Amino acid sequence: MPSRHGLNRASPYFFLAPAAAVALVGLVYPMLRSVWLSFHEWSIGTPPESARFVGLENYRWLLADDSFWISVGVSMAFAVAVVILEVVLGVALALVLDRDLRGTSLFRTIFILPMMIAPIVVGLIWRFLYNEQFGPLSQALKALGLPGIPWLSSPDMALISVIIADVWQWTPFIFILALAALQGLPASAIEAARIDGATRWQTTLYIKLPLIAPVIAVAALLRLIDAFKVLEVIYILTEGGPGLSTEILSLHIYKTAFVSQQLGRASALSNLLLLIVLMLTLLLVLARSLRERRAGKE
């Protein structure tokens, strides 16, 4: 009979076993399968036995493909733009609503609603708003006597339009974290600044923002990681067009796999995207460890 002490030591592993099994089947195996497939040439509709080993040929094709580098550039531009805008707007909204104002609870609820809408629905909403003939935005411009804007049909405007949709949906994420960080600040530091004669602007600039900077940095990295994986909204809005102006890396992977039906090349693309996300995740872990070290020293 096993001892009670032995059972107590083994019990956490029994509780973790189901989650570990699900992760192994649903995460580790597909990832390993993707790595294996990236060294083969295989098309949809053919049996797995027909996959032909090609070594590093898929990766050589990848690095020589102009559309791949264009998608990387679009992904970088999209990710950097949405993160900067969302951080600025989210923190600004949190600073405005971090006070006792009438209707503050209502405003907070309204601001977080976009984040709760499914990405496909967000894409459909903004596709209607951007419609050049019947969309509310075009109708408003016509009512003001202004020319219409080709929101989704112009290569110069399409990426901006997609960025606006993403900022609308995910600024609430930064807003919630920033507001929670502001409300968790020690009152003693703010009171000390007021006693010393600091204005509201000086208190915000030199006390509040530095104290919530670690939270903002982590939130920004989380959004940066997620921005590289966006697919549904851009697919609904533009399908990567016009041309390749909005074809981010995740959409390029989708087209390679299910339009061109080149699963080996799509797997190679997925592995590179996974590498990018892993690097960003390591930055997130490093940022958290540095924050904990600073907090420990203080």
Domain with residue 112: its CATH number is 1.10.3720.10
- Cα–Cα distances in angstroms (integers) from residue 139 to residues 131, 134, 148, 157, in the given order: 9, 7, 8, 18
Exposure on the CB side of residue 247, measured as CA atoms within 13 A: 18
Please report whether residue 31 resides in a domain. no
Please report whether residue 245 resides in a domain. yes
Token pair listed for 88: 């600025």
- Cα–Cα distances in angstroms (integers) from residue 245 to residues 57, 73, 168, 172, 203, in the given order: 27, 10, 20, 27, 43
Verdict on whether the full-model pTM lies above 0.95:
no
Distance, in Å, from the CA atom of 227 to the CA atom of 233, rounded to the nearest integer, reads: 11
Please report whether residue 40 resides in a domain. no
Please report whether residue 24 resides in a domain. no
78 membership: H or E segment, kind and range: helix 66-97
Domain containing residue 155: 57-297
Please report whether residue 144 resides in a domain. yes
Please report whether residue 224 resides in a domain. yes
State which amino acid sits at residue 150.
P
If one counts every other C-beta atom within 10 angstroms of the C-beta of residue 139, the result is: 13
pLDDT in tens, the chain (298 residues): 455 555 567 777 778 888 888 878 888 888 888 899 999 998 877 787 788 899 999 999 988 999 999 999 999 999 999 999 999 999 999 998 887 777 777 877 888 889 999 999 999 999 999 998 888 998 998 888 888 889 999 988 999 999 999 999 999 999 999 999 998 888 888 888 888 888 888 888 888 998 898 889 889 988 998 999 899 999 999 999 898 999 999 999 999 998 888 999 999 999 999 888 888 888 877 877 776 777 666 5
Number of domains in the chain: 1
Please report whether residue 8 resides in a domain. no
Please report whether residue 214 resides in a domain. yes
